[in-house]
Structure 1
Amino acid sequence: MLCPSRLAKLRPLPRPLLAAARRHRGVDLRCAISSSPPPPPPPPPPQVRLRTTSSSSTGLGMPSVDEEECGDFLPWLERKAGAEVSPFLSVGKSAYGRSLFASKSIRAGDSILKVPFNVEISPDDLLPEIRSCKVGNVAKLAAIVLKEQKMGQDSEWAPYIRCLPQPEEMHSTVFWSDEELEMIKESSVYQRTIDRKVGMEREFSVLRHALDCHLPEVSKDMKFEDFMHACALVESRAWESSKGYSLVPFADFLNHDGLAKAVLLRDEQKQFSEVIADHNYAPGEQVLISYGKLSNAVLLLDFGFTIPHNIYDEVQIQFNVPLQDPLYEMKLYLLQRHCLQITHNFGISKCPADSFTIKLGSEIC
């Protein structure tokens, strides 16, 4: 059964000084082929989660402030930052989960959020012995989340950690049961989900050993499911930064609209992340940004939702050009001429040059 999903967290590409920050996601080994731009899409519909879940949300527009969990989050963050983060936004809940709403009128071009780098969480916050582990930045950030979760109210990040989604609120395909994964077995998301879980298991083993040696209070009673939850939090919330990846508290409560022009910007000179409103908002209206031009496959794997009529969606085409084909070289030349990078061992088939992807968006090549 399909039901409305929580809008997710986005991030687009850092350059020196002011640049759009790209949300972390794994390397995409697919390639693209030109196609005619689709007709203008209808207004963006609610994102769709492919698994049902109970919710205390109040609809798309009006916020329901959760005073017990996050009512004091923004004042706490501003005290920690020593600067105002946002005079325009407040934390609430919508049909999509934790969200940010306009607390007063916003005009296009307003700087609605500035999060100083000193209140971002990055792998630099780990002990050198843990930071040197041969695991990726996602696993390193996950280790920080696990450490702060273990500390509970004694953690300096407790107000932030308390506002993060619980395991039952996470809907990435890595949390799906075998029966649920069978429903998408013919898609590339299936194999990518399996690969991600295998990678998590490998990194859990490496990181567990390091934590046993240097942070035994964190590794004690830690299960793989705890690590998987922490990794999924990072996968869906971290942004590319000069430190690899960073968690940006408050900014990561902003939900995704695939047609939005607003993105998270990072100013390396002034040392803050910023969002500029792309249109006017009335008080009480949910504020949205774009996480990037993401297909439903990426959205489902990283965030656990899809978007009907997603203009950035893709269709993967499976094919096989046998090496003994007398026209092999010519076929490869024609494919590469049309913006294609031949994929290797991607998707279901395991032979070279076995697939390409048709992107539905207009900016293809």
Structure 2
Amino acid sequence: MTPPTKQSAATKPVNSKSFPWTLLAAFAAVCAAFAYARTGSTRVDPQSERFLAWMAQRGIVHTGTHLVHLESDNRDVYTHKHFEKGDMLMIVPHEATIHDWMAKSDPSVSEYLKIYPKTDWVPIIASFILLHRNDPMWKSYFDFLPKTFSTPIYWSDAMLKEIEGTDLLEDVGRLRKDIEKEWDQWKSHLPAHSTLIEFTWAWHCVMSRVWTLPVGEGKNEAVMIPMVDVANHYGKPKVKIEYNSKLGAVTMTATQSIQSGEQVDVTYGEMSNYKSLKYMGFTMPDNDHNEDCRVRIFREPEDPPSYRIPRRWCLFQIKRLNRSLQECHLGQPNDPNVRERIAKAARAKLRTYPTTVKQDDDILERAGREQLSFDYLNAVRARRGEKTCLQKIARTANGAVQK
């Protein structure tokens, strides 16, 4: 699985321990407190207060930004000063991040990897979270992470019916089994009180917040970045996240002017609503150009010998649809018979959904007037995106056959 983030160029880091990050962060905390008092901003919740104090101890600098506590355990990042292009909003020292190779250095994780050396980075970092959940070095950060998520794994059976017939529903069941399998292998290496529920929670903490940056040895690593990971996804953010080898820290830098009082957003990269909902628990409106879907095609008895592939699951992405069509074949690219088979499979799959794209559009149009639940809105957007992709496949494949 690829982290849903942008990647920066790999650079070799320097030792950041010699830089007085703690003093700088403490000064930043005083400045932030002064800004709160001067602007009349309300204080954040106690858990956020502990997290802010922890950041100061770990040398995380976020001068000019602050947390806003929303409902439940949701929080956003806002500015309380003006930033010009090139200004740094946040500096997170390398030692205050959690990354792949750091997790691998834990004795329990290291022992596990001797048995399962090809383990993916997601359960590795998730297990590190459970192993160090009460470690004073990390506890305030882990306590600050969301207690639950809006991904379909946490949905009720009634809500899962809203994505009936989709690839997403099938994948949610498969993902549950994958997490359970990982848990069965990991549980003897984790604290005795750990549970599958906690392992699933830690897994989601990683997948919903991880970035890919060249920390550590200078090569790209999966990394969790405190404070930066609070910022929400937006397709056109005003900041960039990168690893600064001279500072030995991850930085958030303004790419254009940011006014005081603005919400700070980042981008996790362009992705379909299927992917963002499955891994992170949100969807985006007006996202048709990023949607994707799958179609299965089969070799039939009367097919020529050049059709050497018996069956194939093809992934189609709207923004690269022509290339996706070229890659979907049974051994002979650009074959009109296979294109017709793809169009037929897409139309057949569209008939299996309980609702049409038009019905979903009507529901989304009502969302501006009615109070629809967050999960329901996400379900409608995800299933609509998949159907929109299938419609596009059917039309494009048919057009190619006619030409």
TM-score range, shorter chain: 0.5 to 0.7
- Matched residue of 1:92: which SS? strand
1:243 to 1:265, Cα distance in 2 relative to 1, 3 A? closer
1:173 to 1:155, Cα distance in 2 relative to 1, 3 A? same
1:268 offset after TM fit, Å?
A: 4.6
1:141 maps to which residue? 125
1:325 offset after TM fit, Å?
A: 5.7
1:157 to 132, 138, 163: 138
1:201 offset after TM fit, Å?
A: 0.6
1:130 offset after TM fit, Å?
A: 3.7
Of the two structures, which has the highest relative contact order with CA contacts closer than 8 Å and spacing of 6 or more? Answer: 1
1:164 offset after TM fit, Å?
A: 0.7
Of stretches 108-117 and 299-308 in structure 1, the one that deviates more from structure 2 is 108-117
1:270 offset after TM fit, Å?
A: 4.3
Distance (Å, rounded) in 1 between the aligned partners of 2:165 and 2:256: 40
1:226 to 198, 204, 214: 198
1:288 offset after TM fit, Å?
A: 0.7
2:111 maps to which residue? 129
1:29 maps to which residue? none
1:232 offset after TM fit, Å?
A: 0.6
1:91 to 59, 63, 67: 67
How far does the alpha carbon of each residue in 1:264-287 deviate from its partner, in whole angstroms, 9 at most, with x for none?
222356432122223333322211
2:6 maps to which residue? 12
How far does the alpha carbon of each residue in 1:173-226 deviate from its partner, in whole angstroms, 9 at most, with x for none?
111233322221221211221221111011101111233xxxxxx1x2322111
2:158 to 163, 174, 179: 179
Q: Name the % identity.
A: 20
Distance (Å, rounded) in 2 between the aligned partners of 1:325 and 1:12: 46
Distance (Å, rounded) in 2 between the aligned partners of 1:196 and 1:322: 28
1:197 to 168, 176, 180: 176
How far does the alpha carbon of each residue in 1:289-334 deviate from its partner, in whole angstroms, 9 at most, with x for none?
111101111111112111111254314263635344658969x9xx
Distance (Å, rounded) in 2 between the aligned partners of 1:13 and 1:277: 17
1:78 to 53, 56, 61: 56
1:192 to 1:291, Cα distance in 2 relative to 1, 3 A? same
With the length of structure 2 as denominator, give the TM-score of the two structures: 0.62
Distance (Å, rounded) in 1 between the aligned partners of 2:182 and 2:52: 33
Cα root mean square deviation, aligned: 3.5
- State which structure, 1 or 2, has the greater radius of gyration over its C-alpha atoms: 2
**Would you tell me which structure has more helix in proportion to its own residues?**
2
1:231 to 1:359, Cα distance in 2 relative to 1, 3 A? farther
Unpaired runs of at least 5, structure 2 = 13-39, 214-218, 310-315, 331-340, 347-385, 393-403
Query: Which residue identity is paired with 1:118?
Result: E
**Contact 2:208/2:279 (8 A) holds in 1:** yes
Query: Which residue identity is paired with 1:185?
Result: E
**Contact 2:45/2:69 (8 A) holds in 1:** no
Unpaired runs of at least 5, structure 1 = 1-8, 19-61, 212-217, 345-351, 361-365
**Contact 2:271/2:291 (8 A) holds in 1:** no
Distance (Å, rounded) in 1 between the aligned partners of 2:329 and 2:249: 38
Query: Which residue identity is paired with 1:91?
Result: L
Alignment of 1:1-365 (within 5 A): 11-17=5-11, 65-81=43-59, 85-94=61-70, 97-123=74-100, 124-125=102-103, 126-127=106-107, 128-132=110-114, 134=116, 135-149=119-133, 151=134, 154-167=135-148, 170-211=149-190, 218=191, 220-241=192-213, 242=219, 244-260=221-237, 262-268=239-245, 270-310=247-287, 312-316=289-293, 318=295, 320=297, 322-324=299-301, 326=303, 338-340=322-324, 341-342=327-328
1:252 offset after TM fit, Å?
A: 0.5
Distance (Å, rounded) in 1 between the aligned partners of 2:242 and 2:391: 26
